[in-house]
Amino acid sequence: MKHLFLPLLVLAGLVTHEVAAQAPATAPAARPTGAAAPALVTLPTLRGNGRISGVVVDGATKKPVEYATVALLPANGDKPVDGTVADHQGRFALKGLAAGAYRLQMSFIGYGSLTQPVTLAEGKISLDLGTVALTPVSQQLNEVTVTGERPVVESKPDRLVYNAVQDNTNKGATAADVLRKAPMVSVDPDGNLQLRGSGNVRVLINGKPSAVVAGDIATALKQLPGDQIKSVEVITSPSAKYDGEGSAGIINIVLKENNLQGVNGNVGLAVGTRNSNGNFTLNARKGKLGVTAGLNAFSFYAPGDQEVDRIDRGVRAQVVGQPGQTIETTGRLYQRNDGKGMGGGGQGRIGLEYEPAPNHALSLSLNSALFGNRFDIDINNRYTLDQGQPTSTSPLFGNYTREQTMDATNRSYDLLGSYTRSFGANSRREWTVLAQHSRNRNQRDYDVTQFPLVNPDFNNPQYREESPNIARNLESTLQTDYVHPISEKQTVEVGAKMIQRTVFSDYEVFRTNLSTGVFELEPSLTNNFDYDQDVLAGYATFTTSLGKKYTARLGARVERTDLRGNFQNQDDEFRLTYTNVLPNVALTHNLKQPGSSLRATYSRRIQRPSIFYLNPYRNESDPRNISQGNPELDAEFTDNYELNWNTFAKGTSINVSVFSRQTNNAIERVYTTDENGRVLATYGNVARNQTYGLNLFGSAKPLPKWDISGNISAYYVYLSSKTLNTSNRGVVYSANINSGYKLGKGISFQMFAMLNSPRIQLQGTSSPWQMYSLGLRKDLWKGKGDLTLNADNPFSSYVKLTNDFDTGQSVSTNTTYVYNRGVRAAFSYRFGKLENKPSRPKRSIRNDDQKQGEGGNGQGGGN
């Protein structure tokens, strides 16, 4: 219970004290959800030393309008001579202006445009306009269609943003389908997630960790409908404010929300051949109080076939006719699996926001999810020896056919509370306190019924086995952050965080006793495992301008980690404590082209293994292919270097980055083969990983109705392991393209395609793969509704994934056929009255410090 109540009690005490002591002022505001990205302008003008400044505010609430577009027009004519974008406090400044008469035009989605004359007199250096008010536009959905749109992909100074809401092919899709389209991100058909070639990536939802993604990422991405995702933010060089986790970077999934006054919502339904879902959202906001709620349900159908062909060298065999005499020979495994899977579940979320006073904001949210699936697999297994005969007469190591059922159920929730204290409309000073409690409970069971391969009697099983495994993860977090501007050009950020994690795994195996035929507990494969991880962290970041063209950010994060683990059947528990300093440095050069910059960064990051890697549960449902986690894994540390160039002009955006990443104690999957020809897959800190890469991203609008964006990534990877006496290297690349065209009369077309080269692994490689999708959308009822038809891989019935590995004793080719061709129809309807209202900046907990599960292949800890 301490995990749940301690952080929330501390938060409640702090809030009570601060609200009682508040002084009237105006709170800062965030860019309204769904607002169009401002368009910066490249403008020639006569230069001087004049300056025009001011603050753009909401005419009704008097709160700042963030990121409003400001254009300076000549006294006569409409061609801008200069321009800028207001900051998050609504402030703007135009510098280096010549004396003369102008018109200043300010605009933002949801507000009426305002143009006013301004004059810079000769000899007058500065003109401060004070506050400039924009009038909000009330919008009734059955009368007005909101047409402001962001591009599908945006390039920002510290991240790339994929605006999923603008991509028609996401209707009725899953989160995995959405993430595939984000720049630098790869999600293969089996669910394995990578960012710039590394699986060491932290996934956040709305800027905070979620119990939904606490374990197996591939399973988690099936739970979240793509219709609920507003955007995906890809952050490759996080500042010291973020946890040190995610050596490749952070992927933040932003769900759809709005800050609109009144009552409004959305209803959606999608039906397809591979997956279907329905969702409902409701938002109610009036004055100081806002309530949001959402509910969705989904189902999926997933047939798949798998082939395993393996050669095992050095297998111990019995010499025929000579009892007790053994020889080393070669074993050959031929396995064919035919499976069908289906599953589903739902999610619910509710949030409350309240502003008791102008400088204070409170929020409380609860998110809960339930997910389940079932796979029925028919297995035909044949194992032969070149010489001799098996040393064991057990039917487990012979030739057989099996009926196997695998069931998984996942329940999770997140409870988050936050308090934000601001210090005036024009002040960047801010203090936040956040508390979160998360719980994830995962149960995975399998049941095996085995028959002889030749002349099986399906009414008389040869062997039976079943195993329940329950894994639970509890996590409580208390976090505080403070931002203090020293001057207009210098800012200090400090913060502290405490995380308490408790992991529990209870696993049992019941088998047929081959001597007695009795179904009984197998003690060697049964145990309880407890694991506690406590993290205490603090950070500081100093940001300063170095003249007019340079900005420097210096930061460091200190993290202390305390670990404790214990098996029920062992007297000794293991303990480990370590403290790490994680520096973070960034230098940005603002180029002459407005919005163009060159940025160099360095950061050191930490990757702690999650329950997916730690779970010691030994899965022997396939006696020739065994998987097990490793509870003795250490954290891995990575040094990241990146040089990034970003520019845009006339609707075209370009982002180029080169990077280097080095990890000396990388956690890698390790395959070993025993003398009986059994392969064990587990994890170990066994490798050095060096990666050098290049990423190119571009987006353009060749025609007013046509937009196109694309991403190309290429990197050289070198993996080496002294422990395993092996290494592997090679060049890996990937590319994707996303394009949309508006055909008129509310009809639009969208297409997406991607390709990936073979992937390099420590002990092998995985095959290349490609995916593509097409979408057609029709707006209905003046924009209140829409109907979308989507097709995934319509011209190919399956994707073939091949994974080759060589343990030095075994050479294996595992082939999976993923039948992902599908079509679906999706319908959505929006209702309610909308009145734009800027909101406060969202603050959230980001527990980025754990290495998460790789994919849904059943290996690893099996939590």
- Per residue in 118-171, pLDDT (tens digit) is 888 776 677 888 888 887 754 433 333 333 455 666 766 567 787 877 776 666
Quick check: helix, strand or coil at residue 207? coil
End-to-end CA distance of the chain: 23
Provide the 3-class DSSP secondary structure of residue 19. helix
Mapped onto helix, strand or coil, the DSSP state of residue 474 is strand
Query: How far is residue 797 from each of residues 780, 792, 822, measured CA to CA in Å?
Result: 32, 10, 9
Cβ–Cβ under 8 Å, residues 649 and 42: yes
pLDDT for position 212 = 60
Closest CA to 441 of 409, 468, 415: 409
- What pTM, to 2 d.p., does this model score? 0.71
Report pLDDT for 214: 54
* Cα 525–chain centre separation: 34
What residues contact 846, with CB distance under 8 A and at least 6 apart?
204, 207, 208, 209, 242, 243, 250
Q: Tell me which residue has tokens 């083969």.
A: 673
Percent of the chain with pLDDT over 70: 81
Q: Residue 302: name the closest of 416, 450, 440, 190 by CA.
A: 190
Q: Tell me, what amino acid is at 654?
A: I
Strands 597-609 and 850-851, bridge-based pairing: parallel
Quote the pLDDT of residue 85: 74
Element (H, E) at 418: strand 400-422
Q: Which residues of the chain have pLDDT under 50?
A: 1-46, 138-148, 834-842, 855-863
- The pLDDT, as a whole number, for residue 309 is 96
Q: Which amino acid is at 266?
A: N
CA–CA separation, 822 and 820 (whole Å):
6
Q: Which pLDDT value is given to residue 36?
A: 35
What digits encode the pLDDT tens for the residues 578-587?
Answer: 898 999 999 9
- Determine contact, residues 227/279, Cβ cutoff 8 Å: yes
CB neighbour burial string for 773-797, b if at least 16 within 10 angstroms, e if fewer: bbbbbebeeeebbbebbbbbbeeee
